[in-house]
Amino acid sequence: MSSTRPEARAPRGFQDRLGPAIAAEAELIHRASQAYERWGFQRLDTSAFEFTDSLGKFLPDKDRPNEGVFSLQDDDEQWMSLRYDLTAPLARYVAENRQGLPKPFRRWQAGPVWRNEKPGPGRFRQFTQCDADSVGVPGPAADAEIIMLACDALEAIGVARGEYSLRINTRRALNAVLSQVSSSGSQSEEERNGTILRAIDKLDRLGTEGVTALLGEGRLDESGDFTKGAGLDAASIERVMAFVSAGQSDNDATVMALEKAIGNTDMGLEALSEIKAITAVMERCGFGGDRATLDPSIVRGLDYYTGPVFEAELNMTTPDGKPLNIGSVGGGGRYDDLVARFTGESVPATGFSIGVSRLITALEAAGRPLLGQAMGPVLVLVFDRDAMGDYFELAQRLRNAGIAAEVYLGGSGLKAQMKYADRRNCPVAIMFGGDEKEKGIVSIKDLRVGKKKAQAIKDNETWREERPGQFEAPLDTFEKIVAETIAAEV
């Protein structure tokens, strides 16, 4: 066996979490789920692993190992991969159970997903998503419903109107433009269009100049790496960029600009009709430009979208007034062909996903945590190691009364125990020494009062004399007094 000790470190892009972070995630999912269920969606859970051929090859990061997923081979020599989103497993579930499911099938799901991508600020290789999807319903009404639900979910989480923007586009409009472009080189039409989509998807990061280069021969980045482009000619690049830049200050003006950019083709007219139908339903229900806007630059990175697509971004600042640059915190769209991979039959579907981990990171960066500091347990202090039975009995009585309690099991003295209580954010400390036992009482210290008074009392002697927040309670009823102490406002 090797004598070399492994370095204790988490892999890049993965993070460990303690109680407060886990509680914040649970709270966000709870708030979002309330919105989902108000709209009639039911919960579903699927397994973390799927057969790799079930997932398909849809990730945008094509240059990563295993097409951007984490994979392993089982005993039957079949490849399995950790799910990279919750939509592909949904498609497999629907295909596998379609005979017994209600039609349409409306489900929501929350859970971790894994992507073999380069990590960065707010970008992890394991993160949590919270999705809602409607399977079996074609048409713009279903798309409008999903977009409105996304708005409702964000607002239920605590992101107010004006603090987020849902940016909407449709792949059909972009496909109408792509049908009118020409290119040089050996790429197939599918490969070329994929390159164009990935280029447009980088508009926010690379700007117009960078995307224009990727639509042409390619782009040399700052590190000297060259990314091959789509090979479009100058006229085609101009047509694509005119479409991407067609977004205006309001949805009606954007539709007019799109009519010019798309051209008078059957596919283009169909796309425009779809956009108008979606915005009409939304505006009728009060979901106007203050919540969702048309933006032709939105394409979404996943290849399986076939119709409307949208992304949610935050319009928030940090406490010192700097804008948050955290990227998309959610998005979705229509994917009518995903279930057909299994059944051979087209099944219309539309949905969206909230990036839970990224949204929590963004809210905390904006000084808007979902939860305040979590309250720790009541701490029973230890004065005499021979009296551990007494301390555990006190703690158990508190637990029986529905109060979280812990006996200090470290080997330190009273000063260190109080420091531990502060780090755990304990509301109350219980003291039961020889004097208390003899008198049949318990000394209770309200640590929150003590912390507040400490800001005003600077003298140690005064502190010892006043003992702020400390009082006595009868041993036989101390649980009730502890409960009242915790419930009291400080």
Sign of CA dihedral 217, 221, 224, 228: negative
Question: Residue 338: what pLDDT?
Answer: 86
Name the burial class of residue 166, with classes exposed (0-12), middle (13-18) and buried (19+) by CB atoms within 10 angstroms of its CB. buried
How far, in Å, CA of 274 to CA of 268, rounded?
A: 10
Compute the 3-state secondary structure of the chain and give helix, strand, coil in percent, each to the nearest 5: 45, 20, 40
Burial of 234-243, coded b for 16+ CB within 10 Å and e otherwise, reads eebbebbbbb
Question: Residue 191: what pLDDT?
Answer: 84
The three state secondary structure string of 254-300 is: HHHHHHHHHCCCHHHHHHHHHHHHHHHHHHHCCCCCCCEEECCCCCC
Domain covering 19-179+265-365, topology: BirA Bifunctional Protein; domain 2 (3.30.930)
Greatest CA span in the chain, whole angstroms? 94
Tell the residue number behind the tokens 């006043």, with chain if given: 466
Q: Where in the chain is the domain with CATH 3.40.50.800?
A: 378-487
Question: Residue 399: what pLDDT?
Answer: 97
- pLDDT per position in the chain (490 positions), as tens? 567 899 999 999 998 988 888 999 999 999 999 999 999 999 999 999 999 888 875 544 554 446 688 989 888 888 899 999 999 999 999 999 999 999 999 999 999 999 988 887 767 899 999 999 999 999 999 999 999 999 999 999 999 999 999 999 998 898 888 888 887 777 788 888 888 888 888 888 888 999 999 988 888 888 778 888 888 889 889 988 999 888 888 888 888 888 888 888 888 899 999 999 999 999 999 998 889 999 998 887 667 788 999 999 999 988 998 988 888 899 999 999 889 889 998 899 999 999 998 899 899 999 988 887 788 999 999 999 999 999 999 999 999 999 999 999 998 899 999 999 999 999 999 999 999 999 999 999 999 986 776 555 555 555 455 566 899 999 999 999 999 999 987 6
CATH number listed for the domain at residues 378-487: 3.40.50.800
Residues 6 or more apart whose CB falls under 8 angstroms from that of 7 comprise: none
Q: Where in the chain is the domain with CATH 3.30.930.10?
A: 19-179+265-365
Tell the residue number behind the tokens 């010892």, with chain if given: 464
pTM confidence score: 0.82
> How far is C-alpha 311 from the geometric centre of its chain's CA atoms?
13
